[in-house]
Structure 1
Amino acid sequence: MPDDRFWVFSICTPYGDVLVNIGNLEAHLPGKYLMKYDNREYGLDTKNPPAGFVGLIKFPMAYGLSNMRILTSRTNEDLAAIWALQAGFSVEAQDRPGNPVAPALNFSMFRSQEYLPGVNQTFEEAVLKVAAKIAAYNPPYVTGDRLWVKTKLAKAGFKNDEFIQPKGSDIGLAVASANETVEQFTAKPGVLHDVGNGWVIHDHQYIGLYNSNYEMRYQVASYLYLGLADDQCVYPSRAEEISVDQGKSILFTFAAVPKIKEGGFWSLTAYGPDQDLIENDLNRYSLGDRDALTFPDGSLVSDGEGSFQVLLQATDIEPPANWTSNWLPITAGGSNITVTLRWAEV
């Protein structure tokens, strides 16, 4: 992997915790990494790895996932370079002693009507059924939490890998109560930090690696599932959604060009009311240091210093030609949008 390209392989729990990162910001080496199940601890050891490996990953759950991020400028040439790098990635199963720690994960369950929302069950019921199917094999990595979490899940209807709604319970009220708990937790001093002009960031203990902060893991997963911890990336976001009336636009002003270290990046991304990326004819979903942003005089932001602006305007209203490179398309017809900045190595 090139030294000047941001890349990270994140090893994550099904619930959204990022337990291990292998990437350029820590100058990790290319080569083979052995991943081993260990129900008592987790982490990456690059000092004393097994023979033939450059690192040992200990993972405390039976199921997990790897989320790969590689920075690209989205040009055809750069995409070809990314594809060449991807050709060198592989995953190989290794024999291990002892019995399996869990049944093999059956991915077809995610297409089964039993685990999907529809006419016969709500979204929340479907989520609870999926959670019950995997919870016993993926307990909290905070070992001191395992007993009380198991007790609470049993009380909530988790039994023998199934969810059976307790008699007299109301899932709708339970969801409302959970959301209220999260709102109250988020409002506590020190959870979010005001960084000026309506932007906030999460405190380091409430993003990426949550430990026992399950309220924040739930809250962040609703819009930033598998978000990285702040040693990899920070996510300044608006404290509130932005309401854009039909025919109106938004100008984001950067007082100066964001500073990043070699191998880092910054980007501004807009999400529609469904919290998904906004489709547009330019196939442009973010703007940042990899793009041909310009100053008001037309010179490239990447070549200078000073203030510049990014235009958030509806996909069906094309701006003047001198704004095209600084245009981030948003939902047509007016809507609420969520705007997030990402910085790696500020």
Structure 2
Amino acid sequence: MTRRHALQWAGAGFAASIVPALAQDSASPEALAEEAFIWGFPLVISDTLFRSAQQKGENINRFVVQGALSTPAFNVPGPNVDTLYGSAWLNLIGGPKIIAVPDTEDRYYSIQLVDAYGNSFAYIGRRATGTKAGAYAIAPPGWGGDLPAGVTRIEATTPHVLALTRVLVTSEADLPKAVAIEAQFSIGSLSDYPNQLAPALVTVRPWKLPIPDVASRGHEYFLDLRSAVVANPPLPEEREAVGHFATLASSFSSQSEAAAVLNAAIPKGVAKIKGAWGQLSETSGGWSVNKKVTPIIHDPLLRAAINQYGPGTHIAEEALYWSPVPDLGAGLSGDNRYRLRFAKGQLPPVDAFWSLTLYGPDFLLVENEIKRYAITDRSEGLVTKADDSLEIAIQNEKPLEEGINWLPAPKGPFRLILRTYQPRPELLEGRYRLPPLKTV
């Protein structure tokens, strides 16, 4: 830590930028440093991604969208094979940005608006705003101007916002139409509306949001946090809660002491964030699901845990992701054969779509002989049993039974995710239980 950095800590320290009034706190510097690391974790990730995009001139106030569904060749962890992805960073420092969308004729789409703290504070899309054409002004905090007629105001919670898009593809033949829809997502300033909004750029490159390893920065992390807080102040209701961080700025007698305490706080904070992941999930019928993602998450530890793999986790009302409990430890293996059976009338209750996707242990899609990476409510050629049940065989070799649907598995470990988009109340409230995944 240089003397310049030490002076930044000692005088106008980062916590003084968080709150106008400095609170007193009896917690030790070590405890405060650990708390500060956890509190700022999603913010530093988001700020790092935003600054990187800004430096490269990419995705700032313009959507870049995917022109093809994900495949194993994309080499991107955790994608679905249901929707086209896209994203844009909105910089609201100069005023609102207008997002215009076309009529999707009831096709599922979403534009997830994520603030700098990893909160999915609002959505544009089928569930939230419907599928008719529309224009939405994403307004920065405190902006009090007027909007043109027909433009719907959405209050952003931070000046920097990540907009993530998803557009459903119903079949291979449907792909061009889905691409044409997402290509019409456009962004511009108030002065650009309605004629000069920039349409989305369609790319053949895989969509990927790289997650920076912010914990590896050591004590420099806290300086990044300080600048990130200045750019994106916390919500008013959180300012008092984090005021006690202010005492950290004057806790150190030397720069070497500051560096030692701050460096030591990071691995402890990382361990707590990873450990909190288990607090997010509930289990039922052998499946694990996280229903705790809400538009604004005030618990710093849960917010950090939800965002540890990057921003973009859906709120529960938009989508629920289910994993078989053994899968939490990559316990599924192609050495075994598994069956998932949905009885007649007992498919996942959703208002949009569901899909069961298979991944390798690294969450990459796995190549197979029939190029089937998921079983979905749109899969062509699905068959049912005589009792109208839908049975899925997850195994390495093609099953010999009649009336069964094969989801090919690799010979080694693999993972499963069952996505349910626009889950109905019975799924959200636990009145519907997924059938268990059985070994045969």
Deviations 1:152-211 (A, max 9, x none): 398499xxxxxx993223747633444336636844xxx5443x32223334xx214242
Residue 310 (structure 1) aligned with residue 425 (structure 2): no
Q: Distance in 1 between matches of 2:332 and 2:320?
A: 25
Please state how far the C-alpha of 1:310 moved relative to its aligned partner: 2.2
Any idea what SS the aligned residue of 1:175 has?
helix
Which residues in structure 2 correspond to 1:250-269 (within 5 Å)? 250-256=338-344, 257-260=346-349, 264-269=352-357
CA contact (8 A) 1:267 1:287 kept: yes
C-alpha spacing 1:175/1:21, structure 2 compared with 1 (3 Å): same
Partner residue, 1:59? 156
**Which of 329, 335, 345 matches 1:247?**
335
Any idea what SS the aligned residue of 1:217 has?
helix
Residue 78 (structure 1) aligned with residue 180 (structure 2): no
Runs of 4+ that moved beyond 6 A: 123-129, 321-325
Any idea what SS the aligned residue of 1:235 has?
strand
C-alpha spacing 1:251/1:33, structure 2 compared with 1 (3 Å): same
Q: Distance in 1 between matches of 2:190 and 2:402?
A: 54
CA contact (8 A) 2:115 2:161 kept: yes
Q: Relative contact order (C-alpha < 8 Å, sep 6+): which is higher?
A: 2
Partner residue, 2:237? 144
Partner residue, 2:290? 202
C-alpha spacing 1:2/1:219, structure 2 compared with 1 (3 Å): same
Unaligned runs of 5+ in 2: 1-102, 193-210, 251-255, 425-440
TM-score, length-scaled by structure 1 = 0.68
Residue 327 (structure 1) aligned with residue 406 (structure 2): yes
CA contact (8 A) 1:266 1:341 kept: yes
Report the residue type matching 2:271 in the other structure.
N
Over aligned residues, Cα RMSD in angstroms?
4.1
Unaligned runs of 5+ in 1: 42-48, 97-114, 158-163, 300-304
C-alpha spacing 1:184/1:70, structure 2 compared with 1 (3 Å): closer
Identity in percent: 19
Report the residue type matching 1:258 in the other structure.
L
**The 10-residue stretch of structure 1 (126-135 or 241-250) with the greater mean CA deviation from structure 2:** 126-135
CA contact (8 A) 1:207 1:230 kept: yes
Report the residue type matching 1:280 in the other structure.
E
Q: Distance in 2 between matches of 1:165 and 1:280?
A: 52
Partner residue, 1:13? 115
CA contact (8 A) 2:383 2:404 kept: no
**The 10-residue stretch of structure 1 (250-259 or 147-156) with the greater mean CA deviation from structure 2:** 147-156
Report the residue type matching 1:327 in the other structure.
W
Please state how far the C-alpha of 1:21 moved relative to its aligned partner: 0.8
Any idea what SS the aligned residue of 1:230 has?
coil
C-alpha spacing 1:230/1:248, structure 2 compared with 1 (3 Å): same
C-alpha spacing 1:320/1:245, structure 2 compared with 1 (3 Å): closer
Deviations 1:64-117 (A, max 9, x none): 111111111241x21111122123221112359xxxxxxxxxxxxxxxxxx966
C-alpha spacing 1:123/1:69, structure 2 compared with 1 (3 Å): farther
Partner residue, 2:139? 36
Q: Distance in 2 between matches of 1:246 and 1:197?
A: 22
Deviations 1:31-56 (A, max 9, x none): 22112111599xxxxxxx82233311
TM-score, length-scaled by structure 2 = 0.55
C-alpha spacing 1:140/1:182, structure 2 compared with 1 (3 Å): farther
Q: Distance in 1 between matches of 2:227 and 2:147?
A: 33
CA contact (8 A) 1:192 1:201 kept: yes
Residue 230 (structure 1) aligned with residue 230 (structure 2): no
Deviations 1:232-273 (A, max 9, x none): 2222333433413453333223234425465x1111223433
Which residues in structure 2 correspond to 1:126-165 (within 5 Å)? 131=225, 133-141=227-235, 143-149=236-242, 152=245, 155=248
Partner residue, 2:376? 288
Any idea what SS the aligned residue of 2:307 has?
helix
Q: Distance in 2 between matches of 1:18 and 1:284?
A: 31
C-alpha spacing 1:193/1:122, structure 2 compared with 1 (3 Å): closer
C-alpha spacing 1:135/1:320, structure 2 compared with 1 (3 Å): same
Any idea what SS the aligned residue of 2:245 has?
helix
Residue 4 (structure 1) aligned with residue 100 (structure 2): no
Please state how far the C-alpha of 1:337 moved relative to its aligned partner: 2.4
**Which of 422, 427, 434 matches 1:344?**
422
Q: Distance in 2 between matches of 1:222 and 1:78?
A: 34
**Which of 144, 167, 184 matches 2:259?**
167
Which entry has the higher C-alpha Rg, 1 or 2? Answer: 2
Report the residue type matching 2:260 in the other structure.
G
Paired residues in the alignment total 294
CA contact (8 A) 1:156 1:165 kept: no
Which residues in structure 2 correspond to 1:268-279 (within 5 Å)? 268-274=356-362, 276-279=363-366
CA contact (8 A) 2:334 2:414 kept: no
Any idea what SS the aligned residue of 1:144 has?
helix
